[in-house]
Amino acid sequence: MNSHLLSEVYLGNTLQKWLLCGGIILVTLLLNGLIAKLASKISYRVFKNVSQAQFYEEFSRLLNRPFINLINLLAVYVAFSQITFPAEWELARIDEFGVRFMLHKILVVITIWFITAVFLRSIEFMEYVYHNLENASISKDLATFLKELTRVLIYIASFFAILGKAFEVDITALITGLGIGGLAIALAAQDTLANLIGSFIIYLDKPFQVGELVELGEVKGTVEKIGFRTTRIRTLDRSLLIVPNKKIIDSNLNNITQSSQRRVRFQIALTYQSAPNEILGIIEDVKKAIALEMPHTSDEMTVRFSEFDSSSLNLIVIYYVNSNEYEDMIEVKERINIRILEIVENHGCKFAYPSQTVFLNQN
């Protein structure tokens, strides 16, 4: 192609400039994948102290798309910076409100957002590493919590970056203004702050982890997620319970998963027609029935004549099943309950139920 043709002017720019602009975009579209992989390899060196070589594929998968988007955006910027707008378009300067001004602001916002996406994917990769790394220095739950906290901080930093770079807001004055109203905001958000502090306490003290079975008051279920404000518990009837973190740290909590045993406690109600020797015989036989379940049950047990109720003589039964699995506990309990039915019947006694006896005066 001769130099005369390249010097031809179209829309205020020579053909050479248009070809250069198009060439930059075309080459970038063809090579952006390779450039993104190169950027991934260089960036992965930052994580070499906490990661391993086998995690590179996941890192590349997560960061590939954000890197490609950022590369394409930079290529478009460099390509069109070679072009000058025709004077007859009468476009305002970049520092004056108009089309060029708006395009510039949009470009800055998109650039900040793509950079933000790179950081967000990096944080997601760190969570993946700690979830799959053997002998990790922090737990999986703490890694998830730190990821969510860092994501919030990244979003806040990106928001202020957009305000400062795209809209030229004085960030220092803005933060000062927020500080003046910070007290009012803090007073209005006391519960939110208390729940946030509660989430930190849960992660640091580790009373439970995701996937464990816990009992909180009358609620019993499996922990599904520990968030900034609330903890989600899947109850035994499969409903999802949202509990504020403040309530969790202020309440008595039983971590059933971390328990080695389950306690079984109930009462046997006998009628008042039961003789003392029959009651003592039932007590001894119930102890033997529990002992027969060893090693599924512990040798620690309590079977006693506990109280005179309004319509029954009550025996209290307490024993421990050597498993924290609900199915194991209920299976052992079923076998012992069947034996108790046989024991009471063999001793000629009957189970009591709420009733009243009315005595009539024959006179």
Contact present, 16 and 3 (Cβ < 8 Å): no
Give me the pLDDT at residue 263, please: 86
Alpha-carbon gap, residue 296 to 303, rounded angstroms: 18
Largest CA distance in the chain: 138
Nearest residue to 209 via CA among 299, 314, 139: 139
262-346 topology per CATH: Alpha-Beta Plaits (3.30.70)
The DSSP 8-state label assigned to residue 54 in this structure reads: G
Nearest residue to 310 via CA among 280, 271, 279: 271
The single-letter code of the amino acid at 247 is K
Omega before residue 207 within 30° of 0, cis: no
**What residues contact 243, with CB distance under 8 A and at least 6 apart?**
216, 219, 230, 231, 232, 233
Alpha-carbon gap, residue 85 to 21, rounded angstroms: 13
Torsion-angle region of 167 (φ positive above 0: left; ψ -120 to 50: alpha; else: beta): alpha
Please say whether the dihedral angle defined by the alpha carbons of residues 79, 81, 86 and 90, taken in this order, is positive or negative.
positive
Alpha-carbon gap, residue 208 to 214, rounded angstroms: 8
Nearest residue to 32 via CA among 82, 67, 81: 67
Spans of all domains in the chain? 3-180, 205-255, 262-346
Give me the pLDDT at residue 270, please: 92
Alpha-carbon gap, residue 256 to 212, rounded angstroms: 8
Nearest residue to 50 via CA among 150, 143, 148, 157: 143
**Structural domain 205-255, CATH architecture:** Roll (2.30)
Q: What is the DSSP string of 293-326?
A: TTTSEEEEEEEEEEEE-SS-EEEEEEEEES---H
Contact present, 254 and 244 (Cβ < 8 Å): no
Give me the pLDDT at residue 18, please: 79
Contact present, 314 and 353 (Cβ < 8 Å): no
Give me the pLDDT at residue 258, please: 78
Number of H helices, E strands in the chain: 11, 10
How does pLDDT run along the chain (363 residues), one tens digit per residue?
Answer: 556 666 676 666 777 777 888 888 898 888 888 888 888 888 887 776 666 667 778 888 888 888 888 888 888 888 877 777 665 555 555 555 555 667 777 888 888 888 888 888 888 888 887 777 766 666 666 777 778 778 888 888 888 888 887 777 776 766 666 555 554 555 555 666 677 777 777 777 778 888 888 888 778 888 888 877 788 888 888 888 888 888 888 888 888 777 778 888 999 999 988 899 999 999 999 999 999 988 888 888 999 999 998 888 999 999 999 887 778 889 999 999 999 999 999 998 999 887 666 667 776
HSE, CB side, 13 Å, CA atoms: give it for residue 39: 18
